[in-house]
Every structure is written in C-alpha cells, then in structure tokens.
Amino acid sequence: MNILHVKYAVEVAKTLSISKAAENLYTTQPNLSRAINELESHIGITIFRRMSKGVAVTPEGEEFLQYAKKIIAQLDELEELYNGEHREKQRFSVCAPRASYISNAFADFAKQIRTDKPAEIFYKETNSMRTINNVVKGEYELGIVRYQGTFDKYFKNMFSEKKLFSETLTEFSYKLLVSKNHPLAKAEDVKPEELSDYIEIAHGDPYVPSLPLIDVKKAELSEFVDKRIFVFERGSQFQLLEEVPNTFMWVSPMPKDLLDKYSLTEVKCSGNNKIYKDVLIYRKNYVLSELDDKFISSLKKAKEKYM
C-alpha cells in the first residue's frame, strides 16, 4: 500500500472534491484520480462514490478512512519528531551503580553539555542486572556494572552471551563508612565482629547471573551483622548515616567534600578483603558518540582522583 495514496485519500475525504484536493496537494486532477483508483484496487473496496459535483464517502470508505487518518496523524508526528533539529539533539544515557565517584564524574561531564543545542541526558542508578538488561535492549547506551571479584566468571559469561563489550574501570575494596559521631569513628582499625552491635545500611537489590538471590546476599552481607536497613537510592543512605549514629555502610571510596557534607568518615577495617570491580559495558555493534567519550574521560579522571 502506497502511503502517499493514503494521504491523498484523506485529503479527498476532507474536501469531498478531487479538484480541491489536487489543488491542496499540489498535484493534477488526473494524477490524483489515478492514485485513488490504484488505492481502491489495491485494498479491494470503493472509498469514494463519484458524483456530478464532487465525491461522497462510501460506508466501506468511512471505515478505511478512520484507520487512515490515525496512521497519517502518527506519520506526521513521527516526521515532526525526527526532523533535522531532532537529529542534532545531544543524546546520552548511562546506567550505573550507586557510587559517589561515578556521580561526581557525571556532574563533571554534565558541565560539558552544549547549551546552544537541544539535549536529552539520562542517568540511572540501579543494580547490575537491570543495567545489563537496559543496555541489551538499547534503552541505555552505556552501563557500569559493579560486582564482587569472586563472581567474575558469571558476569563475563553473561557479557559474552549478550554480545556486550566490557572494560574494567577499577578494582577496589569497600570502605567502612560511619558518622563522625559513631562510637567507632575514631578507631584505628575495626574488626568485622565489632560491627555486630550496629545497624548495617545495605542496598536491597544485589544480583548475580545464574545464582539464587539468597546466595548473593550471603556473599555480599556481613555474617556478623543481623540488623539491616535496605535502601534503593543514595540520598537516604547518607541521611540515615548522619542522623542515626549507630549505623554503618560499606561503600566505594568517597570524595572528601561529600564526607564533610554529611559529617561522615571512612574507617579502616582490615578484615574486609573482598575485591570489587566496576566494569563499563555497551553493545558490541554500538559506536561511541562524542558525548560518550567525554563521559568516559570524566569517569577515568574521577577514578584516578577518588579511587
């Protein structure tokens, strides 16, 4: 079916006149009549009944035109959306773990967005599996996946299966984060068992491919702690640490200005020997944009500064 012919039919229905419709469409009457005849022949119905003065819409034509008008309206919207201005729009999207050095990198990157062009920038904090799914589906172009080193093979297998490019950004051990008013804030070195009297703040959505959630939580959470508050975004975790002095959290190294803002401090914990990885991912057939390159550059600078 020729979409142009459908547009012609909609215009004829609007004017109920071949001559008037031809004038509006900047075409000739013979061309318009021929297009309508071809359309009617193609769909097997008579859309218009020719009259001595103009045309009338047949019952079958009325039904066809109801659908045709919707389709043409959607095509007009699509054309308007994807005009030249749209193609020039600055676009960027990334899914990442809840990490201060990454959010700092994003803030630095955001300063580089041009103000003389339209822009759509998406930054989403979520867990590893949602990040992978979002990138695979094309809903986000870049992803940063965080996982414990012992799960390396599970994630590498998934990256391969999902046809994802992966690059390790950094490896690190978590720091023990507490309020400056916490009883352990001034300790030189804290043993894991000393945390048993306190409340751990933990992210509530860990995920490792091919492993039951109960096994993942067992690997991620301290065996010495039985009191936890699970959170799903970073803002509330810092407020809890600041306002509830008997809480603590395991985090990647944090910028000093953020520690000072919430009156927090990092304490050494020699019994913490788990190594974590942050890995950049994107689809193998995806070509990095200029904005992607700028973000990755900001990310690597932040890593060098804070990690």
Ordered by start, the domain boundaries in the chain are: 3-81, 87-171+276-306, 175-273
For residue range 208-226, what is the model confidence (pLDDT) as tens digits? Answer: 444 454 554 555 566 788 8
DSSP 286: P
Give the span between the Cα atoms of 276 and 58, in whole angstroms: 70
Give the span between the Cα atoms of 63 and 69, in whole angstroms: 10
- Greatest mean pLDDT among 53-57, 157-161, 172-176 lies in 157-161
Q: What is the CATH number of domain 175-273?
A: 3.40.190.10
Give the span between the Cα atoms of 288 and 280, in whole angstroms: 12
For residue range 3-19, what is the model confidence (pLDDT) as tens digits? Answer: 999 999 999 999 999 99
- Greatest mean pLDDT among 16-30, 79-93, 278-292 lies in 278-292
For residue range 16-64, what is the model confidence (pLDDT) as tens digits? Answer: 999 999 999 888 999 999 999 999 999 999 999 998 888 999 999 999 9
Q: What architecture is the 87-171+276-306 domain classified under in CATH?
A: 3-Layer(aba) Sandwich (3.40)
For residue range 89-137, what is the model confidence (pLDDT) as tens digits? Answer: 899 999 999 899 999 999 999 999 999 888 999 999 998 999 999 999 9
Nearest to 124 by CA among 48, 230, 205: 205
Can you give the pLDDT at residue 206? 54
Can you give the pLDDT at residue 246? 93
- Are residues 161 and 114 in contact, defined by beta-carbon separation less than 8 angstroms? no
Please determine, for residue 263, whether its predicted confidence score (pLDDT) is greater than 80. yes
Mutual angle of helices 3-15 and 18-25, in 10-degree steps: 130
Can you give the pLDDT at residue 221? 63
**CATH match of 3-81 with 1.10.10.10:** yes
Query: Which residues lie closer than 8 Å to 72 by C-beta, 6 or more apart?
Result: 6, 7, 10
Sign of torsion, CA 193 199 201 202?
Answer: positive
pLDDT average, residue stretch 264-281: 90
Can you give the pLDDT at residue 207? 47
Q: Which residues pair with 120 in a beta bridge?
A: 91
Q: Which residues pair with 265 in a beta bridge?
A: 178
Give the span between the Cα atoms of 277 and 147, in whole angstroms: 6
Can you give the pLDDT at residue 69? 92
Give the span between the Cα atoms of 87 and 104, in whole angstroms: 28
pTM (2 decimals)?
0.66
Same fold, 87-171+276-306 and 175-273: yes
For residue range 231-243, what is the model confidence (pLDDT) as tens digits? Answer: 877 778 888 999 9
